[in-house]
Structure 1
Amino acid sequence: MKSFVVCLAISVLGVVQGVNITPCKQDDTACLKASAQAAVPILAAGIPNMGISVMDPMHVDRVKTVEAGLAMDFRNTNVKGLKNCKVLMLTRHPHRTDLDLKCSVTMDGDYTLGGKLLIMPIEGSGKYTIKIRGIVVKIQLDVDEKARDGGTYWVVKDWKHTTTVEKGVHFKFRNLFQGNKQLSDAIHEFANQNWRDIFQEVAPPIVKVIVGRIVSETTKLFDHVPIEELVIR
């Protein structure tokens, strides 16, 4: 969750807000990776005069969806940990940027669930916490260039992502089955033993929203800084 995160889209190389980020040649992958890593906490903290909002913590108002027979409504979610994401890889191509991030994040907020969690019936409404350890987010940005105000700027036309979790996911939903402890304990044991399958069913919609927010916030940098200040051609 990218990385989130995280930074993402960050071919972020240049000087941002007085913080030196080393410009890199397009084919210098070591420089690109180090420069993007240096940008992660800067972007996660937000850059107000560029309109880049704080991303750690990130607030997500609502994600409501139905997936595989499970109705999910997550509200008032706070996502913490994006500032600590690690850049695994960053590569630049003429019209594409590929970024791989590895993050550990905690999401908490309000939930309502109803339907089936894989094979188990589930229903409840209350507070929730999901801890994700070692999520790898691969983001691909389709990038074009646009001349403006005497400079040339990157424009992100589209993006897509994939996620995998390497270490684990822990779920905690309070007030399942109207507080029935026996049923709640059974669901939590099932979910946390089968975290990989449960993550694939429960998490994709909210993870997509988080990654989308990361992309939209960090690519605001491209609106303010011309390519000439970001890369060595």
Structure 2
Amino acid sequence: MFRYFCFLALFWNVKSATAPFITPCKNGDTACVQASATALMPLLARGIPEFGMKPLDPLKVPRITSEQGSLKITMTDTELTGLKDCKIETLKHDRIKGKQVLVLRCDMSLEGDYVLDGQLLILPVQGKGRYKIDIRDIVIKILTDLTSEQGPDGKEHWKVVKWRESFQVKTGVKFHFDNLFNGNKALADPVLEFANTSWKDVMQEIAPPIIHTIIAAVFEEFKALYKAVPAEELYIP
């Protein structure tokens, strides 16, 4: 399985994009892989310059757009925090089929600028300003298809072909949008109360493109890892 799950803490200060001495998990040893990956999460959150990977926590997302039904939201300069504390519930890898399954359980916060206009379920809404969304206990399942290609080093490297995600929030979501209706509290407060009371329905309405954009940003860093490190360094045949 992934060698970096077992060696990265030892090699953190090594200025090389390939792995030195490693003690990898055996192929198919899910318990070992999950334990090692859990220990690795805080290190990945800091970023790995040796592999060209930027920090994952905080994660900077320049632009997120969500246009679901009659509501359009644009979020810019978003900062996402919380990924470093995500718990890995499932991590499986089928090297022969080129399939990966990852299930994460996280608390996360998004904060940035927003513009929205349209109708939030049953209520008209519009505004422009700062926003914050706190998500408690979201479970994200990611299915990934991988292939192999020859890198500039002449060695086999993994490449992400496609991925798809699904999610479910288990505990709750808190929405805050400054300056709704140009600061008219008489109009804004009922909308915010409705959004926070009906958070499950609101998340189904607006969240899929948001979660997709976040996962896409995370995958850019893993693409950098696969590009930097030969496949032979990442698993036991």
User: Contact between 2:117 and 2:126, CA under 8 Å: does it hold in 1?
Assistant: yes
Q: Distance in 2 between matches of 1:29 and 1:67?
A: 38
Select the structure that is richer in helix. Answer: 2
Residues 11 and 110 of structure 1, relative CA distance in 2, 3 Å threshold: farther
User: Contact between 1:22 and 1:35, CA under 8 Å: does it hold in 2?
Assistant: no
TM-score normalised by L of structure 1: 0.89
User: Contact between 1:11 and 1:36, CA under 8 Å: does it hold in 2?
Assistant: no
Q: Distance in 2 between matches of 1:26 and 1:204?
A: 33
Offset of residue 118 of structure 1:
0.4
Q: Distance in 2 between matches of 1:22 and 1:198?
A: 46
Structure-1 residue corresponding to 2:67: 66
Structure 1 residue 160 corresponds to structure 2 residue 149: no
Structure 1 residue 18 corresponds to structure 2 residue 19: no
Offset of residue 173 of structure 1:
0.6
User: Contact between 1:26 and 1:91, CA under 8 Å: does it hold in 2?
Assistant: no
Q: What SS is found at the alignment partner of 1:52?
A: coil
Residues 22 and 98 of structure 1, relative CA distance in 2, 3 Å threshold: farther
Residue-pair matches, total: 224
Q: Distance in 2 between matches of 1:124 and 1:203?
A: 18
Q: Distance in 2 between matches of 1:21 and 1:43?
A: 17
Structure-1 residue corresponding to 2:39: 38
Structure-1 residue corresponding to 2:15: none
1:195 to 196, 199, 216: 199
Offset of residue 221 of structure 1:
1.4
User: Contact between 2:66 and 2:210, CA under 8 Å: does it hold in 1?
Assistant: no
Query: 1:208-223 residue pairs with structure 2 within 5 A?
Result: 208-223=212-227
Give 4+ residue runs of structure 1 displaced > 4 Å after superposition: 19-22
Q: Give unpaired runs (5+ residues) of structure 2.
A: 13-20
C-alpha distance after superposition, 1:126-163 (max 9, x if no partner): 11100001111111110122344353322211111111
Structure-2 residue corresponding to 1:170: 174
Amino acid at match of 2:136: R
Offset of residue 25 of structure 1:
2.2
Q: What SS is found at the alignment partner of 2:132?
A: strand
Offset of residue 73 of structure 1:
1.2
Tell me how large the CA RMSD over aligned residues is: 1.9
Select the structure that is richer in strand. Answer: 1
Amino acid at match of 2:169: V
Offset of residue 115 of structure 1:
0.6
2:133 to 130, 135, 159: 130
Structure-2 residue corresponding to 1:146: 149
Q: Which structure ranks higher in relative contact order (CA pairs < 8 Å, sequence separation ≥ 6)? A: 1
Residues 103 and 15 of structure 1, relative CA distance in 2, 3 Å threshold: same
Residues 174 and 22 of structure 1, relative CA distance in 2, 3 Å threshold: farther
TM-score normalised by L of structure 2: 0.88
Q: What SS is found at the alignment partner of 1:232?
A: coil
Offset of residue 190 of structure 1:
0.6
Q: Distance in 2 between matches of 1:170 and 1:50?
A: 36
Structure 1 residue 226 corresponds to structure 2 residue 224: no
Offset of residue 81 of structure 1:
0.9
Q: Distance in 2 between matches of 1:11 and 1:190?
A: 47
Q: Distance in 2 between matches of 1:96 and 1:230?
A: 15
Q: Distance in 2 between matches of 1:78 and 1:229?
A: 32
- Identity, in percent, stands at 42
